[in-house]
Amino acid sequence: MTPYELSVLQAGENLDALMNLDPRGYGVCRTLYPAARKLAGSDGPVSIHGAEYLLEHIRSGEAVYVLTGFVLLPHECPETDGAVSSMVFCRMVAQMGAKPVLVCPEDCREPAKAMAAAAGLHFYDGEDAVEKVKKLPASVGFVAFPKEKEAAERKIASLLEKELPSMAVAVELPGRNEKDVYHNATGLDLTHLEAKTDLLFEALSEKGVPALAVGDLGNEAGLAALRPHLYEHIPYTAPDECRCGCGGGIAAKTAADCVLTATTSDWGLMALTAAMALLLEREDLLPDAAVYARVLDAGARAGLVDMNGWHIPAVDGFGEELLLPVITLMAETCRNILKVRKTGECDHWFGGMLRKNF
């Protein structure tokens, strides 16, 4: 191991720990994490593994599809988790020179437009959204995805006629189970509310598009890769455990190539963003809590809700007083590692630790 490798390893361990803080104390995030780490196939942190996977496939000038948008009961509104971080991630993708395309239910159109402005991005929707974004800088495309299966299949055919994206990223994306039923966290049937965007995620993967998923429970598209672990440890996931009577449980049937789990999907994607910035050695790409706060507030004002149904700047019940310090810590731990690497501070400690067979 070199000093560089040691610093990357420790950065990743920091990010993994931060994204899996458990302020509720209910244990799900830390129960999921070992399975995600095992799936990565190495002893290294999941955030670094995911960032390396993204950087291997995201290419300048090519589209990156970001699929999100979970609609919640009882108000039938889309939630903040997943949508907010996806827009911040789209900002970073645009800064890298790639072309972000947000794929969401129609319910997310106005919130996405407001969040794009808060992130400093131009917003393009309509049939030519992908083409416009590929031609223009500092922009994000929006594709409204249908809730009816037949319409979703037609939309998939239309999108597959275009040039395929270099990457597909699913963030808190509703995933149907083996019975083709979509569920909320407590096992209730949401099939009528959810866009069938996981069908596109599957179709892209089948076409060879690299697929990464971020989730925080197991009912999200992509997390079928962790299914045995879900069945054993996470409530409502196993067959016959859901409350709707379908007999399939809430676990999604769609598997991703690369999976990252966290307390909230937003924290997971922000950890990935920080890890990518670290690997690229670009401080300008580190997640900015002020930008995140603007995007979160804009989304809540335009129609997004937190998991309790309130139009407030919160994610999964956590307010800004908790969300923003965690994101700041993610950025600052990476910023300090870059500083130490650049200035050579603590070189004697790096060498000493390595000589002691760290």
Which pLDDT tens digit goes with each residue over 96-144?
Answer: 999 999 999 999 999 999 999 999 999 999 989 999 999 999 999 999 9
Q: Which CATH class is domain 3-355?
A: alpha beta
pLDDT surpassing 90 at residue 350: no
- The helix or strand, by DSSP H or E, that contains position 278, with its residue range, turns out to be helix 265-280
Render pLDDT for 145-169 as a digit per residue (tens, 0 to 9): 999 999 999 999 999 999 999 999 9
Nearest 10 degrees: Cα torsion 168, 112, 132, 59: -30
**Nearest one of 216, 225, 215, 227 to 251, comparing CA atoms:** 227
Q: How far is CA 288 from CA 35, 58, 291, 322, 327, in A?
A: 29, 21, 5, 15, 7
CB atoms within 10 A of CB 294: 18
pLDDT at 267: 98
Instruction: Phi first, then psi: give them for residue 247, nearest 5 degrees.
Output: 80, 10
Q: What residue spans define the domains of the chain?
A: 3-355
pLDDT at 116: 98
